Structure 1
Amino acid sequence: MLRFIDTPRQTPEKRAAELRREDFEEVYSGFKERQAEAQASRCSQCGVPFCSSGCPLGNHIPDWLRLAAEDQLEEAWRLSESTSNMPEICGRICPQDRLCEGSCVIEQSGHGTVTIGAVEQYITDNAWSKGWIKPIAPARERPQSIGIIGAGPAGLSAADELRSLGYRITVYDRYDRAGGLMTYGIPGFKLEKSVVMRRVKRLADSGVTFVQNADIGGGVPFSDLREKHDAILIATGVYKARELSVPGVGANGVVRALDYLTASNRKGFGDEVPGFDEGHMNAHGKRVVVVGGGDTAMDCVRTAIRQDAASVTCLYRRDRENMPGSAREVVNAEEEGISFRWLSNPKLLLGDANKLDGIRVARMRLGPPDASGRQSPEEIPGEDADLAADMVIKALGFSPEDLPTAFDEPDLALTRYGTLKVDPSSYETSLPGVFAAGDIVRGASLVVWAIHDARRAAASIHQYFKGQTVGAIPETVGEQQTDYDPRTYEPVAP
């Protein structure tokens, strides 16, 4: 260990930009065994592991780095999976630069952070290849039945935890494949779909029942689920797109980010996608402008360039330093030929209802901080510019859907932001025996936070069945997101 002085930081080999633009295969090749061991050996094994503090799951990062460096890879995997239900996925898509790696002590000393995410991915990918990961075999079978609504990261993680405890689990999802945004939202160049599907298959092989194309609240009344199961966990995520409020937004050629990404991912599965085949959801040959600065915007611009768009531009109203998306993704996008216009905000869409011709952009500057502490963007009068565009993709984030109406459950209490209101210590909603976890409680956030919430909610459901008073569950060590108030368990205003 402690090789950070004589062993330089190394990231997995990255495919050349001109090659990766041609397909949707993952950008990074992943570590080989000796590379992973060498990078793991750079850990300083510091007495206060700030990397663990920076991880929402409180992963035992220095411990499994040491085991990996010592070639004890099975032990490293077992320790890694003890705190995370899908470490190989987090290793691929977590913004480590903002979480564990951003808290790495040796980074502060100028030697470059340990490449924690890449080692985490290697440890579990290696476990899959060696056959160490088996279907869940509970020590005992329990009689209680639990219905989970939503097969995204929160729903799958809760199913994993609860099935391990021996409960009978049924997962309901509106889509025809499980995985949620990991399947239909995140492109393959960040997360190949086989990685998600093998997690789903393991749960199915473990006895978890999946009910796809399930319209809960529509074709399947929510009340029927409550009668059928002894407890319910709502883990639907947030899918309602935030809209762009400028004149001309209804023009043909303006699309929502999730609709666009879903169409692309479905084509990757080999599905028939009329909107894509007809050109509406296909960027081929078009001048594309993506509005937004988060990871979804990065997914859109990088998907468009792979669809052979004529040009791709990202508009963001703040500067690069204040962009919420991963800095690593911005660099990858720039390498692939995407242009960024910082401090720019849409003002008007040009053309008519049948044909989009362009977008008028206001030049912005950063003013005084707002209530969240971030500098507020302000328009600079008289500095508008027109950009040519055949396709505008709205990637402004997501809000909760109208759940009480959708589920026909008026007693299901909400926060003032439309997320489900839960007891912060138990994750139980206002309906007895109904729990909730993930983005539908927290607001739009990261996969790793969905896993965090699901694990805590699963522990509460277990306590609920044991007939114990559900007390406060110790908060996993980790930095809270700015969109979440830990005192009330409500998201703060954007």
Structure 2
Amino acid sequence: MAKQPMLKFVTVGRDMPDKRTAEERREDFQEIYAEFAEQKAAEQAGRCSQCGVPYCQSHCPLHNNIPDWLKLTAEGRLQEAYEVSQATNTFPEICGRICPQDRLCEGNCVIEKSGHGTVTIGAVEKYITDTAWEEGWVQPIEPAADRPESVGIIGAGPGGLAAADVLRRAGVQVTVYDRYDRAGGLMTYGIPGFKLEKPVVMRRNEQLEAGGVTFVMNCNVGETIGFDEIREKHDAVIIATGVYKSRDLKGPGAGADGIVRAIDFLTASNRAVNFGDHVPEFESGELNAKGKRVVVIGGGDTAMDCVRTSIRQGATSVKCLYRRDRQNMPGSQREVANAEEEGVEFEWLTAPKAFKGDPVNAVVVQKMRLGAPDATGRQSPEPIEGAEYDEPADLVIKALGFEAEELPTLWGQEGLEVTRWGTVKAEFTSGKTSLDGVYAVGDIVRGASLVVWAIRDGRDCAEAVLSQFDGASAIAAE
């Protein structure tokens, strides 16, 4: 009788890949976790209980067939595991690295609820696809037949690239337009290398290009090319621009030199450190934390990226101000723990009130307390009268989140309907907008969200576009 490869959670404890020491991590921008060895990946995958109702799958935005590829991994059938994983996820190796598994699949694992420790789903997912690349199982897209229809995608982030992948596999002619010089969006320039090494993103871009996707880079819609011009070139257009407009700080001194946007700081670091680009603002010190007392304002994952990047750049001190407590912060608790290990200090229940000096030399910090719940049920922070202090700072990084740019104005498209938050109004699942043949996906519809949700939106929208094409073809044939 064959040995049972699954249900090992009773005898085998949860184990993550080895994590490099904080001292090692502070010195470079490489990923902090090692790779699972084959035996360890099989052992950890074998902890899955193969439950009848897989909450890990239902709480995954992509509804990945997690129990299936865990079982295949435990049985040593890695190529099949990769194929199952790839069937529902355009970028499984990226999701395995940067998804907040503690809030999604792993956070809803049945054996976790029973006290045995969750299956390390993310680490196994990363291992499967990294192995697939090493073994040559990941091949360029080869459609069974080319189709005449053409789709223009504005934005080369995860939503746009996921849509491009699905459409190109169906044989559609796809052109991706992006304002940057490299595709990938925030995966390339927003997320630091210690969470997502850039060759991982670049090889996916190369795979898409080798499969026939055309990239038009350094292309700013509304300036380099008009939106109407893109519509005229293609049978359908998908807007996947993401949200890049940073929420701003208020208060006296908020416009001083030395107060910078998170996106500018992270982009400069990624360009200079990970790609070796010439970045004057980085080299001059304007967007470089080296030798500085750094204060980061915000409590999301972007703030965590900023504090951990500052540590690696050689800041003399790094402090993070967040207006709520640890339990109520939006960022990943795993990221907070990693930041603390690396030397970041968190000042909970604090908010900036004013800024001193120009260039800035201190933040006037207001102490807060949690009051009555707001409309979402979270307790609202409120200031404690008379409780404030000065926090010395040479560099202040604003990581307060992102908002949508005013696309109708930028593109001269009054007919493109938006919500009161400035995001594009789009039909659920299909992504259809108020303009005929124009769709929208990802953060420009949802607001700032997760990479995995952008992938889901891109894939769903691509299927809707294909259905539209097929319907039009059927009518034309009658």
C-alpha distance in structure 1 between counterparts of 2:368 and 2:114, whole Å: 36
Aligned ranges 1:365-404 → 2 under 5 Å: 365-404=369-408
C-alpha distance in structure 1 between counterparts of 2:167 and 2:292, whole Å: 47
Instruction: For residue 426 of structure 1, report the CA deviation from its aligned partner.
Output: 2.3
Alignment-mate amino acid for residue 467 of structure 2: Q
Alignment-mate amino acid for residue 319 of structure 1: D
Partner residue of 2:17? Answer: 12
The CA deviation string for residues 441-475 of structure 1, in whole angstroms up to 9 with x for no partner, is 01000000000111110011001111269xxxxxx
C-alpha distance in structure 2 between counterparts of 1:97 and 1:468, whole Å: 43
Partner residue of 2:463? Answer: 459
Aligned ranges 1:98-113 → 2 under 5 Å: 98-113=103-118
Partner residue of 2:341? Answer: 335
Aligned ranges 1:177-216 → 2 under 5 Å: 177-216=182-221
TM-score by length of 2: 0.97
Partner residue of 1:46? Answer: 51
C-alpha distance in structure 1 between counterparts of 2:165 and 2:231, whole Å: 21
C-alpha distance in structure 2 between counterparts of 1:137 and 1:357, whole Å: 57
C-alpha distance in structure 2 between counterparts of 1:104 and 1:219, whole Å: 48
Alpha-carbon contact 2:429-2:461 (below 8 Å) kept: no
**What RMSD in Å do the two structures reach over aligned CA positions?**
0.9
2:119 is paired with a residue whose SS is: coil
C-alpha distance in structure 2 between counterparts of 1:210 and 1:119, whole Å: 32
2:269 is paired with a residue whose SS is: helix
Partner residue of 1:488? Answer: none
Partner residue of 2:283? Answer: 277
Partner residue of 2:129? Answer: 124
Pair 1:429 & 2:433 matched? yes
Pair 1:348 & 2:354 matched? yes
1:134 to 110, 134, 139: 139
* Percent of aligned pairs sharing the same letter: 64
Partner residue of 1:217? Answer: 222
Partner residue of 1:317? Answer: 323
1:261 to 255, 261, 266: 266
2:97 to 78, 92, 113: 92
C-alpha distance in structure 1 between counterparts of 2:320 and 2:392, whole Å: 13
Pair 1:228 & 2:233 matched? yes
Partner residue of 1:247? Answer: 252
C-alpha distance in structure 1 between counterparts of 2:390 and 2:35, whole Å: 42
Alignment-mate amino acid for residue 239 of structure 1: Y
Instruction: For residue 157 of structure 1, report the CA deviation from its aligned partner.
Output: 0.5
The CA deviation string for residues 167-196 of structure 1, in whole angstroms up to 9 with x for no partner, is 000000000000000000000000000000
Pair 1:294 & 2:297 matched? no
C-alpha distance in structure 2 between counterparts of 1:135 and 1:71, whole Å: 25
C-alpha distance in structure 2 between counterparts of 1:44 and 1:368, whole Å: 41
Instruction: For residue 206 of structure 1, report the CA deviation from its aligned partner.
Output: 0.1
C-alpha distance in structure 2 between counterparts of 1:52 and 1:143, whole Å: 36
Aligned ranges 1:58-73 → 2 under 5 Å: 58-73=63-78
2:310 is paired with a residue whose SS is: helix
Alignment-mate amino acid for residue 255 of structure 1: V
C-alpha distance in structure 1 between counterparts of 2:431 and 2:56, whole Å: 26
Partner residue of 1:171? Answer: 176
Instruction: For residue 229 of structure 1, report the CA deviation from its aligned partner.
Output: 0.7
More displaced stretch, 360-369 vs 306-315: 360-369
Pair 1:410 & 2:414 matched? yes
2:381 is paired with a residue whose SS is: strand
1:34 is paired with a residue whose SS is: helix
The CA deviation string for residues 222-269 of structure 1, in whole angstroms up to 9 with x for no partner, is 111111111100000000000011211111100000000000000020
C-alpha distance in structure 2 between counterparts of 1:229 and 1:159, whole Å: 14
Pair 1:148 & 2:156 matched? no
1:446 to 443, 450, 464: 450
Instruction: For residue 53 of structure 1, report the CA deviation from its aligned partner.
Output: 1.2
C-alpha distance in structure 2 between counterparts of 1:226 and 1:53, whole Å: 37
C-alpha distance in structure 2 between counterparts of 1:74 and 1:246, whole Å: 56
How many pairs were matched up? Answer: 467
Alpha-carbon contact 2:429-2:457 (below 8 Å) kept: no
Partner residue of 1:56? Answer: 61
C-alpha distance in structure 2 between counterparts of 1:468 and 1:330, whole Å: 51
Pair 1:159 & 2:164 matched? yes
TM-score by length of 1: 0.94
C-alpha distance in structure 2 between counterparts of 1:275 and 1:113, whole Å: 44
C-alpha distance in structure 1 between counterparts of 2:246 and 2:153, whole Å: 23
C-alpha distance in structure 2 between counterparts of 1:54 and 1:412, whole Å: 32
Alignment-mate amino acid for residue 56 of structure 1: P
C-alpha distance in structure 1 between counterparts of 2:93 and 2:427, whole Å: 31
C-alpha distance in structure 1 between counterparts of 2:393 and 2:278, whole Å: 27
C-alpha distance in structure 1 between counterparts of 2:12 and 2:265, whole Å: 43
The CA deviation string for residues 316-370 of structure 1, in whole angstroms up to 9 with x for no partner, is 000001110011100000000000000111111111x3x2111111111111110
2:176 is paired with a residue whose SS is: strand
Alignment-mate amino acid for residue 468 of structure 2: Y
Distance verdict in 2 for CA 1:7–1:236, change over 3 Å: same
